[in-house]
Amino acid sequence: MRKVALVGAGVSKFGVRKASYRDLVWEAGKACFDSIPGVKPKDIEGLVVGSVMPERTAFQSHISSMAAEALGIRPTALSARTEHMCASGTVGIRYAYAFIAAGLADLVMVLGVEKLNQPSGDEAILNMGTGVDREWEAAFGLTAPPCFALAAQRHMAAYGTTEEQLALVGVKNHTHASKNPNAHFNKGATLDQVLGSRMIASPLRLFMCSPITDGAAAVIVASEDRARALTDTPVWIRGSGQALDGFQLTSLHEDYAHWPAMQRASASAYKAAGVGARDIDVAEVHDCFAIAELIAYEELGFCAKGEAGPFVAAGRSDYGGDVVVNPRGGLIGCGHPLGATGVAQAAEVFAQLRGEAGARQVPDAEIGLTHNNSGMGEHIVMIYGREWA
Ligand SMILES: CC(C)(COP(=O)(O)OP(=O)(O)OC[C@H]1O[C@@H](n2cnc3c(N)ncnc32)[C@H](O)[C@@H]1OP(=O)(O)O)[C@@H](O)C(=O)NCCC(=O)NCCS
């Protein structure tokens, strides 16, 4: 396999945006091209677009061709869309990585985009019911918030995790988001605010949930030769893994607080990268709800099973701790425009490993990890390095 690196990255402003779907593509695409002046649209050989439900929200399909035309890209090697619910963007990066590693292209853009608040945020919540089993779960009200609430209740019962420990994830990620001008929320949050926010699905309160967000992000992925010619500071893709336990919550999880597929996905990524959990300096994990971040600490190996509550309470996932988790604000603070999320996570790790993250910079960050889940049963992990090995 050839070595593969990120050489450029850019994100749009996240939030409830007036911008159209195409405006978001333009905003992230332009920011990405601006980050690497040596690359013009005509140089891009492939475009992969992660997007979950443009047919339902923007009444648009045929997405990668639309985005290519909008950005002036004429793909010669690859043009595709990835739809894999909340992990769509990272799946797109894996496609580009494999394609370049196999020698089929040298320069591919991966763009993630979602315009959820159209026609309204309420309708987006309804639309997101398509991501769980329509016949056996969504029809009975088992959409994402209650699914993750069941995991939280199980974690609390099994390990004594407290509502305050869940709330501390919300405090940390809203506080991180306050240093990110592109985040959905910029005001930060105190423990009292998180614990006093309205209940969504017990024990998950509003500030422990990701919101309904519009946004886009893009990265440029390059072969080793092209990366070295374009920049002195490429960010190498060191490893990647993906694993599935199941689609249905109700039939496929013996214990909602254990997500073994995340362990398997991270084991593959750590093995390929030649690193372990203790080597990770910065991690962007899929905190669609606070409990998801706690379980991620455990399944990614940052702490032992059942120890995530004390881990966050001791500040071990914050600046000055073992690993800085979600410096851009995570999905809770930054927002979760489904298809854009995984690409925005990669853009953050790209900035962090190049020392370009400004007020959010994790000191001396050398190895970064991104994690997405799609539902609770499927996980995808990428590991990036400032150096190749
Ligand atoms: C939590 C949730 C139900 C709240 O939706 P809602 O009750 O319709 O809230 P609204 O959109 O009416 O917003 C009302 C207020 O709450 C704020 N708000 C909405 N979601 C918020 C969140 N997650 N965190 C903090 N504030 C939030 C809004 O900014 C708004 O504030 P304002 O009155 O100052 O403008 C919704 O954001 C949601 O479904 N989130 C989960 C999304 C999801 O499942 N993603 C997939 C994950 S796998």
Contacts for 141 with CB less than 8 Å, ≥ 6 apart: none
Q: Is 206 in the pocket of ligand 1 (CB under 6 A)?
A: yes
Contact 47, 78 (CB under 8 A): yes
Q: Do 97 and 218 fall into the same domain?
A: yes
Q: Which atom of ligand 1 is nearest to the CA of 212?
A: 37
Ligand 1: centre distance to CA 200 (Å): 9
Q: Is 80 in the pocket of ligand 1 (CB under 6 A)?
A: no
Q: Is 210 in the pocket of ligand 1 (CB under 6 A)?
A: yes
Tell me which residue has tokens 């490429």.
234
In whole angstroms, what is the distance from residue 10 CA to residue 340 CA?
Answer: 11
Q: Is 291 in the pocket of ligand 1 (CB under 6 A)?
A: no
Q: Is 121 in the pocket of ligand 1 (CB under 6 A)?
A: yes
Phi, psi of 149 (to 5 degrees): -65, -40
Give the range of the structural domain holding residue 68, as residue numbers without chain letter: 4-120+213-236
In whole angstroms, what is the distance from residue 342 CA to residue 129 CA?
Answer: 20
Q: Do 196 and 296 fall into the same domain?
A: yes
Contact 45, 78 (CB under 8 A): yes
Write down how long the chain is: 389
Query: How does DSSP assign 144-167, residue by residue?
Result: HHHHHHHHHHHHHHHH---HHHHH
Is 86 noted as a catalytic residue in this protein?
yes
What is the tally of structural domains in the chain?
Answer: 2
Give SS3 for 115: coil
Is 379 noted as a catalytic residue in this protein?
no
Question: How many C-alpha atoms does 275 have within 13 Å on its Cβ side?
Answer: 25
Does some domain include residue 268? yes
In whole angstroms, what is the distance from residue 339 CA to residue 216 CA?
Answer: 8
Ligand 1: centre distance to CA 332 (Å): 10
Q: Do 41 and 116 fall into the same domain?
A: yes
Q: Do 162 and 282 fall into the same domain?
A: yes
Does some domain include residue 128? no
Q: Which of 155, 253, 286, 336 is catalytic?
A: 336
Q: Do 342 and 243 fall into the same domain?
A: yes
Residue nearest atom 10 in ligand 1 by C-alpha distance: 121
Residue nearest atom 30 in ligand 1 by C-alpha distance: 211
pLDDT in tens, 320-370: 999 999 999 999 999 999 999 999 999 999 999 999 999 999 999 999 999
Q: Do 112 and 144 fall into the same domain?
A: no
Phi, psi of 188 (to 5 degrees): 70, 180
- Tell me the CATH number at 309: 3.40.47.10
pLDDT in tens, the chain (389 residues): 999 999 999 999 999 999 999 999 999 999 999 999 999 999 999 999 999 999 999 899 999 999 999 999 999 999 999 999 999 999 999 999 999 999 999 999 999 999 999 988 889 888 888 888 888 888 888 899 999 999 999 999 999 999 999 999 999 999 999 999 999 999 999 999 999 999 999 999 999 999 999 999 999 999 999 999 999 999 999 999 999 998 888 666 678 999 999 999 999 999 999 999 999 999 999 999 999 999 999 999 999 999 999 999 999 999 999 999 999 999 999 999 999 999 999 999 999 999 999 999 999 999 999 999 998 999 999 999 999 98
Q: Do 224 and 78 fall into the same domain?
A: yes
